[in-house]
């Protein structure tokens, strides 16, 4: 059997091979013809459905998305949803993954999913493809997120791919969504923050276009020679303001580990020691970045889940920036962003993006 899966099926498979490390062996190729060999026809039982994000074999209500190079070779089983690519794609737009499956390259996949995903979900996908984290293939919204992976593309490559295509459905939406994407996100939560910072005000974002993610900030030599770290890496910095943000996840105050170790004195001591070392390092990080002239504010999950919580954090940062000699807050973010109506609309968007089952209103992610 050989099949080129695309859209949501390809996204699930891409996530699987990123997490397992199999993506490194992917080979650039053209679009192959679907072939059920050694079977004579397509059947649901020969489809590796779990690799394609399905907990059960495919059906007409749970289809497998596939791509074909011509109408005559389309697989016509009821559980397939076909896309035809007759022309208009740059050379090498597909990747072969082993003997049985091919997927679109990440750049083409981003364009394909612009026809299915809402703009904010597509933007988050852009951060995932261009970053070092990966969502769970079977439960992308609230499943476990893998970290420390190599990006599979970058913003410049996606932009270049879009410009090389001809009359491909989804390019306009993909181009617009890409304006709110940055390279080098290390986690889904910092990607969510970055997306909200960059999204236009008309789309319930803050309209702050110039940001950088996880960029090394070198410490002054006077501090380094006294034993401080050579550099710090804040999650997000604003290019035009002397401020930034670090997302402090639950590992920064791992109370669950403390509770789990409570009945074992040695384990409790190690857990408390680890917690204290992390706390001390975070506070030193904040001081060292302040010594560089940049105030980096900590953001916690409650800031995102609480109604208007992220508004407060962003406004605090802009007020601090103004007092540190940066531009006026209203020159960075227009005052209409802070109206009660806009806060409500933005919070609904934030809730739809967060990793909980209640966020399903945004559709696939």
Residues 200 and 349 in one domain: yes
Domain boundary among 52, 75, 104: 104
For residue 253, pLDDT over 60 is answered with no
Does the pLDDT value for residue 65 go beyond 70?
Answer: yes
* 166 and 63 in a common domain: no
Q: Are residues 327 and 351 in the same domain?
A: no
Size of the chain, expressed as the number of residues it contains = 365
Q: Are residues 78 and 115 in the same domain?
A: no
Q: What is the pLDDT of residue 281?
A: 83
The order of strands in the sheet holding 236-238 is 211-213, 236-238, 243-247, 295-299
93 lies in the same domain as 111: no
Q: What is the pLDDT of residues 121-131, one digit of tens each?
A: 999 999 999 99
Looking at the structure, tell me whether residues 216 and 305 fall in a common domain: yes
- Convert 261-282 to b/e letters by CB count within 10 Å (16 or more is b): beeeeeebeebeeebeeeeeee
Q: What is the 3-state secondary structure (H, E, C) of the chain?
A: CEEEECHHHHHHHHHHHHHHCHHHHCEEECCCCCECCCCCCCCHHHCCHHHHCCCCCCCCCCCEEEEECCHHHCCCCCCEEEEECCCCCCCCCEEEECCCEEEECHHHHHHHHCCCCCHHHHHHHHHHHCCCEECCCCCCCCCCCEECCCCCCCHHHHHHHHHHCCCCCCHHHHHHHHCCCCCCCCCHHHHHHHHHHHCCHHHCCCCCCCEEECCCEECCHHHHCCCCCCEECCCEEECCCCEEEEECCHHHHCHHHHHHCCCCHHHHHHHHHHHHHHHHHHHHHHHHHHHCCCEEEEECHHHHHCCCHHHHHHHHHHHHHHHCCCCCHHHHCCHHHHCHHHHHHHHHHHHHHCCCHHHHHHCCC
Give the pLDDT mean for 267-291: 81
218 and 181 part of one domain: no
* Domain stop point among 72, 104, 136: 104
The yes-or-no verdict on residue 68 having pLDDT over 90 is yes
One domain for residues 65 and 95: yes
Burial readout 106-133 (b: 16 or more C-beta within 10 A, e: otherwise):
bbbbbbbbbeebbbbbbbbbbbbbbbbb
Q: What is the pLDDT of residues 352-363, one digit of tens each?
A: 999 866 656 656
Report how many domains make up the chain: 3
Average pLDDT value for residue range 140-166: 95
**Comparison of pLDDT for 142 and 193, the residue scoring more:** 193
Say what the pLDDT of residue 167 is. Answer: 86
Q: What is the pLDDT of residue 108?
A: 98
Residues 346 and 327 both lie in one domain: no
State the pTM of this model: 0.91
- At 270, is the pLDDT very low, low, confident or very high (cuts 50, 70, 90)? confident
pLDDT average, residue stretch 156-173: 95
Residue the block writes with tokens 């007759």: 86
- Report whether pLDDT(57) > 60: yes
pLDDT of residue 262: 64
What domain range is 37 assigned to? Answer: 1-104
Average pLDDT, rounded, for the chain = 92
Q: Are residues 351 and 309 in the same domain?
A: no
Give the position of tokens 């390279």.
183
Judgement on whether residues 312 and 351 belong to the same structural domain of the protein: no
Query: Does one domain contain both 21 and 97?
Result: yes
Domain's final residue, options 73, 104, 135: 104
At what angle are helices 340-353 and 119-129 packed, to 10 degrees?
Answer: 50
């Amino acid at each position: 059997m050989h099949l080129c899966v695309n859209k949501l099926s390809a996204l699930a498979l891409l996530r699987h091979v990123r997490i397992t490390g199999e993506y490194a062996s992917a080979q650039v190729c053209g679009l192959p013809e679907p072939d059920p060999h050694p079977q004579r026809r397509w059947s649901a039982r020969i489809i590796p459905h779990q690799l394609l994000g399905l907990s059960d074999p495919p059906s007409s209500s749970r289809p497998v998305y596939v791509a074909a190079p011509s109408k005559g070779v389309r697989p016509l089983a009821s559980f397939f949803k076909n896309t035809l690519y007759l022309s208009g794609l740059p050379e090498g737009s597909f990747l072969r993954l082993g003997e049985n499956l091919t997927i679109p390259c990440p750049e083409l996949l981003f364009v394909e999913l612009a026809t299915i995903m809402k703009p904010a979900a597509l933007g988050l996908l852009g951060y995932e493809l261009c970053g070092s984290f990966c969502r769970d293939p079977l439960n992308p919204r609230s499943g476990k997120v893998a970290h420390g992976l190599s990006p599979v593309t970058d913003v410049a490559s996606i932009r270049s791919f879009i410009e090389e295509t001809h009359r491909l459905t989804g390019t306009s939406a993909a181009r617009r969504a890409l304006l709110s994407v940055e390279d080098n996100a290390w986690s889904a939560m910092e990607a969510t923050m970055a997306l909200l910072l960059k999204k236009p005000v008309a789309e319930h974002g803050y309209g702050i276009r110039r940001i950088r993610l996880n960029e090394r900030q070198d410490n002054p030599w006077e501090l380094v020679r006294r034993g401080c770290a050579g550099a710090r890496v804040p999650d997000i910095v604003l290019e035009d303001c002397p401020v930034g943000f670090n997302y402090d996840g639950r590992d920064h105050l791992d109370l669950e580990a403390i509770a789990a170790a409570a009945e074992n004195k040695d384990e409790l001591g190690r857990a408390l020691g680890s917690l204290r070392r992390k706390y001390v390092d975070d506070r030193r990080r904040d001081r060292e970045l302040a010594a560089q002239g940049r105030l980096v504010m900590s953001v916690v999950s409650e800031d995102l889940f609480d109604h208007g919580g992220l508004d407060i954090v962003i406004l605090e940062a802009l007020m601090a920036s103004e007092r540190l000699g940066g531009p006026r807050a209203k020159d960075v973010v227009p005052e209409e962003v802070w109206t009660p109506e806009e806060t409500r609309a933005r919070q609904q968007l934030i809730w739809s993006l967060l990793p909980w089952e209640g966020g399903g209103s945004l559709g696939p992610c």
